[in-house]
């Protein structure tokens, strides 16, 4: 794969906003957000502010509400109480400026390249621009060799890299990643982490979930720890891993918190 990491000085010189030529839609602010189904509160009173350029990793045991929180932020589901708002000067959205990648990538029954051009068509881009952007994304992440292959026959790791490249091709300002390397071997996981690092280097704001604590340590600027749908901690990563404030987080880090 080509080198994915840009030098730090280049990064600070070129925030994502400048690349878009559009004002930022961030911060994303959740105020007292809850989500309940049939009287059961699954996400309970979250208040969070996501600021530009940070990598936030949401941790917590199975069923803590991590995936629901990402879905709420991305607008796939609506809060049953509270408010989610994009508060940057670029909001309200002129068009979709945030993207999401799921644990199991959703690929259409067509070539890898066509999966990218289709997503760009849905976003309203003209035919020529679709091809240019799709190739740019494939080349950027060393996927040119897969362009003509049916996306659904690609390996799990290849499909996930393709899903990440597809999200990147949409030029989002913010990216939600739900366990992007959960089912992948160490090599494919490393490739996904390199992509996440490259996204970060370009100034994308990232919110992701993972059960891989090594990965969380490698990638997180901030950690949000959820338990039973509630926010227990929102802390700089280093602090979270060295001195968690809550008993639940300390138990989780020791592998002693089951749900
Ligand atoms: N559509 C739904 N109907 C009923 N319950 C739901 C629904 N979606 C999620 N839940 C419940 O909400 C809780 C939180 O789910 P969520 O998928 O956000 O957990 P998670 O933290 O992502 O867990 P995991 O680590 O296993 O992915 C779980 O108990 C789940 O069973
Ligand atoms: Mg989940």
Q: What pLDDT is stored for residue 20 in this prediction?
A: 58
pLDDT of residue 21: 67
Tell whether the torsion through CA atoms of 51, 52, 58 and 64 is positive or negative: positive
| CA of 42 relative to ligand 1 center, distance in Å | 7
Beta strands in 81-229 (DSSP E): 81-86, 98-101, 174-178, 205-209, 222-227
pLDDT of 258 > 90? The answer is no
pLDDT digits (tens, 9 = 90+) for 158-182: 999 999 999 999 999 999 999 999 9
Q: Is residue 114 part of a domain?
A: no
The minimum-distance atom of ligand 1 relative to the CA of 229 is 14
Domain of 236, in residue numbers: 25-107+172-253
Q: What is the DSSP letter of 7?
A: P
How many separate domains does the chain show? Answer: 1
Residue with tokens 């996400």: 43
Q: Name which of 21-30, 195-204, 237-246 the model is least confident about.
A: 21-30
In a domain, 197, yes or no: yes
Nearest ligand to the CA atom of 226:
1
Residues near ligand 2 ion, CB 5 Å cutoff:
66-67
**Computed over its alpha carbons, how large is the radius of gyration of the chain?**
18
Give the pocket of ligand 1 (CB within 6 Å).
37, 42, 60, 62-68
Flag whether 199 is in a domain. Answer: yes
Ligand nearest to the CA of 178: 2
At residue 22 the predicted structure's pLDDT band, cuts being 50, 70 and 90, is confident
For β-strands 222-227 and 230-236, DSSP reports them as antiparallel
| Averaged pLDDT for residues 73-83 | 96
Q: How far is the CA of 74 from the centre of ligand 2 (A)?
A: 14
Ligand 1: which residue has its CA nearest to atom 17? 67
In a domain, 16, yes or no: no
Cα separation, 259 vs 257, in Å, equals 6
- What's residue 194's pLDDT? 96
**Per-residue confidence at 190, pLDDT binned at 50, 70, 90?**
very high
CATH number at residue 84: 3.40.50.300
**237 within domain boundaries:** yes
In whole angstroms, what is the distance from residue 228 CA to residue 244 CA?
17
Does residue 195 belong to any structural domain of this protein? yes
Element spanning 124, H or E: none
Where does the pLDDT of residue 198 fall: very low under 50, low under 70, confident under 90, or very high at 90 and above? very high
For residue 18, what are the CA distances in angstroms to 11, 53, 98, 200, 210? Answer: 11, 13, 16, 15, 30
Tell me what percent of the residues of the chain surpass a pLDDT of 70.
Answer: 90
Q: What is the pLDDT of residue 102?
A: 93
The closest residue, in CA terms, to atom 26 on ligand 1 is: 62
- Given a cut of 90, whether residue 96 has pLDDT beyond it is no
pLDDT tier for residue 234 given thresholds of 50, 70 and 90:
very high
Going 154 to 158 to 164 to 168, the CA torsion angle's sign is negative
Q: Which ligand is nearest to the CA of 61?
A: 1
pLDDT value at residue 95: 60
pLDDT at res. 89: 87
Confidence of residue 111 (pLDDT cuts 50, 70, 90): very high
Indicate whether 14 pLDDT > 80.
no
Indicate the pTM of the whole model: 0.91
φ, ψ (nearest 5 deg) of residue 256: -110, 5
Q: Pick from 210, 217, 208, 205: which is nearest to 242 by CA? A: 217
The Å distance, Cα 128 to ligand 1 centre, comes to 41
pLDDT of 106 over the 50 cut:
yes
Residue 118 pLDDT class (50, 70, 90 cuts): very high
Average pLDDT, the chain: 90
pLDDT value at 7 more than 90: no
């Amino acid at each position: 794969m080509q080198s994915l990491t840009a030098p730090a000085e280049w990064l600070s010189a070129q925030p994502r906003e400048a690349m878009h030529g559009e004002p930022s839609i961030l911060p994303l602010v959740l105020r007292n957000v809850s989500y309940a189904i049939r009287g059961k509160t699954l996400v309970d009173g979250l208040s969070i502010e996501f600021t530009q350029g940070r990598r936030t990793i949401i941790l917590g045991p199975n069923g803590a509400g991590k995936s629901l929180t990402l879905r709420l932020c991305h607008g796939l589901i609506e809060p049953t109480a509270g408010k989610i708002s994009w508060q940057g000067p670029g909001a309200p959205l002129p068009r979709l400026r945030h993207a999401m990648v799921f644990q199991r990538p959703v690929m259409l029954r067509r070539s890898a390249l066509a999966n990218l051009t289709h997503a760009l068509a849905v976003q309203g881009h003209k035919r020529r621009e679709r091809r240019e952007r799709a190739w740019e994304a494939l080349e950027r992440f060393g996927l040119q060799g897969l362009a003509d292959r049916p996306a659904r026959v690609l390996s799990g790791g290849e499909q996930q890299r393709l899903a990440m490249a597809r999200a990147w091709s949409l030029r989002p300002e913010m990216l939600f990643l739900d366990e992007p390397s959960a089912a992948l071997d160490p090599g494919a996981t490393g490739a996904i982490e390199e992509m996440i690092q490259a996204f970060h280097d370009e100034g994308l704001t990232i919110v992701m979930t993972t059960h891989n604590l090594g990965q969380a340590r490698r990638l997180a600027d901030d950690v949000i720890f959820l338990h039973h749908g509630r926010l227990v901690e929102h802390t700089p990563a280093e602090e979270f891993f060295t001195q968690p404030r809550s008993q639940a987080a300390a138990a989780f880090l020791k592998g002693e918190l089951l749900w």
